[in-house]
Amino acid sequence: MNERALRTEVLATLNDIAPEVDGDELIDDQPLRNQVDLDSMDWLNFLIGLHRKLGVEIPESDYAQLTTLARVLEYLKARLP
Amino acid sequence: MLEFKLPSLGADMDEGTLLDWKVKPGDTVGKGQIVAIVDTSKAAVDVEIWFDGVVEELKVPPGERIPVGAVLATLRELGAESPPPPVPPRTSALPPRISPAARKRALELEVDPLGVTGTGPGGAITLADIEQAAVQAAAQMPPPSPPAVHAPAPVKTDRQAEMRKAIAAAMSLSKREIPHYYLAETIPMARAQAWLTAANTGRPITERLLMAVLQLKAVAMALRQYPELNGHYRDGSFQPAPAAHLGVAISLRQGGLVAPALHDVGDKTLETLMGELTDLVKRTRAGSLKSSELTDATITVTNLGEQGVEVVHGVIYPPQVALVGFGRISERAWVENGALSLIPAVIVSLAADHRVSDGHRGALFLTELRRWLQQPENL
C-alpha cells in the first residue's frame, strides 16, 4: 500500500466516525484531536476501524504517540502487514 | 378494548410523526415489542408497546403528526373474541414493504410509496427506489412552477431547530420547577487509571474498556445507598426506581444531545457495559433508539471532561431528580498524610433536587462514589 492509498484509508476511517470532516482541510502536523471533535469513544472507534481495515495492532501504550495525522500515517506505515 | 397511545419520549416531547407501522391488524403483540416508528425532534424512535394484545385497528396512518397521548391503535386482550364484523382496513391495498429509512425519506421528499415499484428483497421499497421516484416526479413537474425539488437541507435545519426548541423546553421546565442544589468533590483517579491500564494491556483493541464505563458503574453502585437520587418526581411526589438506568449524555455531531438510558448498570460487568455503551452511542448518532431508552433513565451522567472542562454544573432532566457530571481527569497537586504529591484527579459534581434530597445526603453520595472509584477491581 502506497502513502496516498494509506492516507485515503485513514481519512475514510475518520469520516466513518466524524462525517463532517474534510480531509483536505486537516493540517498534518497539528494535533488531530484539536482539529476534529473526537471523544475517547470516537478515538477508540477510529483506532478499531484502522485495526480492522489495515490489520495493524495498536497497543494502548502507543496511543500517546498518535497525536497528529502525520504521526498516525507514519506509525501505520511502519507496521502494515 | 385496549388503547395504545403515543407515549411521551422525554420531557421535551409533545408531538411526533408516525413514520411506519411494524404491525398490522390481527397481529399478536407482546410487551416490549417494537410496534411503530415515530419521528421526534431528536430521532426516529422504535416505539415499544407496554402490554400484550391483538391489534384490532391502526388509527393513525404513516406520515401523520400526532400529539402525545393520541390513540395510535386499538387492541383486544389476548384470548378475547374478535368483534363479529371485521374492521375494514384503512387502505384498500396492502401496505407496501418499505424500510424505515426509505419511509422517512419518502415523507421528506413527499413521495407516495404506494406508487413506487420496489427493487429490494421480496419487492421491498428501498431508499434508492424512493429517491429515484422523487427524481422522476420532479422531472415530470411542469417547468414554470417554482423549482422546488425538496432538497434534504431544509429538513436537516428543521430538525436542528426542533431539537433546540425541545432542549429549551425541557431545561426551562427544569429550571422553573426543580430547586437545584450543587455539590462537587475532587476524586483521586490514580488507582482507577492504573487498574484500567493493566486491564487493557494485552486485550485486543476491540475489547478494551474506557474510563467512562468505570465511572458509570461506580455511579450505579453508589446510588444503591442513596435511592433518593435515583428515580422520578411526578405529580407532586418522588418515586424511587428499583434499578439504576443511567441516562448517558451523548452529543450529536450536528449539534444537540440525547441522554438515552443504559439499563441496569449496577448489575452488569464492565465488559458488558462497554459493549452496550458502544452500541448506544452508535445508535444514538445514527438516530435509531428504542422508546424505553428515551424514557427509562432514572438519573443522568454527563462527561464533559473530554472537552477539557474542569467541572460541570448540571441541569437536571425532568422528571429525574439528579445529574452527575464528570470533569477532566488531570494531574493535580495533592496532600495526603502531610506529604505533597502529584496525582490524576477528577472533579465530580452532583446537581440534585431539593424537593427530594438535601445537600447532606448528596455529599454522602459523592463520598460513596469516591470510595467506589478507589476500588476499581470491585466494579
ipTM of the complex, rounded to two decimals: 0.91
- Residue A48 in contact with residue A57, Cβ under 8 Å? no
Q: What is the mean pLDDT of chain B?
A: 86
All residues of chain A having their beta carbon less than 8 Å from the beta carbon of residue B212 are 40-41
Residue listed under C-alpha cell 496532600:
B335
B100-145: in CATH 3.30.420:
no
Taking residues B143-155, report their average pLDDT: 42
**Cβ A57–B205 below 8 Å, yes or no?**
yes
* Amino acid identity, position B206: T
**Cβ B278–A39 below 8 Å, yes or no?**
no
Indicate the pLDDT class of residue B115, thresholds 50, 70 and 90.
Answer: confident
Highest mean pLDDT among B74-83, B155-164, B370-379 belongs to B370-379
**Rounded Cα gap, residues A22 and B178, in angstroms:** 43
- Residue B141 has a pLDDT of 46
* Residues 295-354 of chain B whose Cβ lies under 8 A from any Cβ of chain A: 306-307
- Residue B83 has a pLDDT of 58
CATH topology of domain B2-76: OB fold (Dihydrolipoamide Acetyltransferase, E2P) (2.40.50)
Q: What's the CA dihedral at B58, B63, B68, B74 to 10 degrees?
A: 0
**Rounded Cα gap, residues A55 and B363, in angstroms:** 48
Share of chain B above pLDDT 70, in %: 86
Taking residues B250-274, report their average pLDDT: 94
Taking residues B164-189, report their average pLDDT: 95
Q: Which of B267, B263, B266, B261 is nearest to B248 (CA)?
A: B261
Q: Does B216 touch chain A (CB under 8 A)?
A: no
B178-378: in CATH 3.40.50.150:
no
Q: Which of B72, B152, B68 is nearest to B104 (CA)?
A: B152
Write down the domain spans for chain B: 2-76, 100-145, 178-378
pTM listed for this prediction: 0.77
CA B25 to chain centroid, in Å, comes to 29
All residues of chain A having their beta carbon less than 8 Å from the beta carbon of residue B253 are 18-20, 37
B71 or B122: which leads in pLDDT: B71
Indicate the pLDDT class of residue B212, thresholds 50, 70 and 90.
Answer: very high
**Rounded Cα gap, residues B257 and B1, in angstroms:** 38
Q: Which residues contact B169 (CB under 8 A, 6 or more apart)?
A: B11, B12, B14
Taking residues B19-34, report their average pLDDT: 91
Give the distance between the most distant pair of CA atoms in chain B: 85
B53 or B13: which leads in pLDDT: B53
B310 secondary structure, DSSP code: S
* Residues 265-294 of chain B whose Cβ lies under 8 A from any Cβ of chain A: 277-278, 281
Taking residues B229-255, report their average pLDDT: 94
All residues of chain A having their beta carbon less than 8 Å from the beta carbon of residue B208 are 44, 60
B174 or B253: which leads in pLDDT: B174
Mutate to test the interface with B, among A60, A62, A66, A79 (most CBs of B within 10 A): A60
Least confident of B68-82, B195-209, B244-258: B68-82
Q: Which of B338, B369, B339, B336 is nearest to B352 (CA)?
A: B369
**Cβ B253–A61 below 8 Å, yes or no?**
no
Indicate the pLDDT class of residue B151, thresholds 50, 70 and 90.
Answer: very low
**Cβ B210–A59 below 8 Å, yes or no?**
no
Taking residues B292-310, report their average pLDDT: 91
If you measure CA to CA, which chain A residue comes closest to B252?
A: A18
Hey, what's the cell of B83? Answer: 368483534
Q: Which of A19, A28, A32, A17 is nearest to A64 (CA)?
A: A32
The strand ranges marked E within B126-226 are: 180-188
- Residue B235 in contact with residue B215, Cβ under 8 Å? no
A10 or B40: which leads in pLDDT: A10
**Cβ B253–A20 below 8 Å, yes or no?**
yes
Q: Rounded to a whole number, what is the distance in Å from the CA of B164 to chain A's nearest CA?
A: 20
Taking residues B230-245, report their average pLDDT: 96
Taking residues B209-216, report their average pLDDT: 97
Q: Which of B266, B247, B265 is nearest to B257 (CA)?
A: B247
pLDDT at B140 over 90: no
Q: Does A81 touch chain B (CB under 8 A)?
A: no
Taking residues B136-158, report their average pLDDT: 48
Q: Does A33 touch chain B (CB under 8 A)?
A: no
Q: Rounded to a whole number, what is the distance in Å from the CA of B238 to chain A's nearest CA?
A: 34
Indicate the pLDDT class of residue B87, thresholds 50, 70 and 90.
Answer: very low
Q: Does A22 touch chain B (CB under 8 A)?
A: no
- Beta pairing class for B53-58 and B299-303: unpaired
- Beta pairing class for B322-326 and B339-353: antiparallel
- Residue B100 has a pLDDT of 67
Indicate the pLDDT class of residue B82, thresholds 50, 70 and 90.
Answer: low
Range B284-288, long-range pairs (CB < 8 A, 24+ positions): B284/B43, B284/B250, B284/B252, B284/B258, B284/B260, B285/B250, B285/B252, B285/B253, B287/B42, B287/B43, B287/B44, B288/B43, B288/B44, B288/B46
Q: Which of B282, B13, B16, B296 is nearest to B167 (CA)?
A: B13
Least confident of B3-17, B74-88, B206-220, B354-368: B74-88
B255 or B281: which leads in pLDDT: B281
Q: How many CB pairs under 8 A join A and B?
A: 36
Taking residues B118-127, report their average pLDDT: 70
All residues of chain A having their beta carbon less than 8 Å from the beta carbon of residue B284 are none
Taking residues B23-52, report their average pLDDT: 88
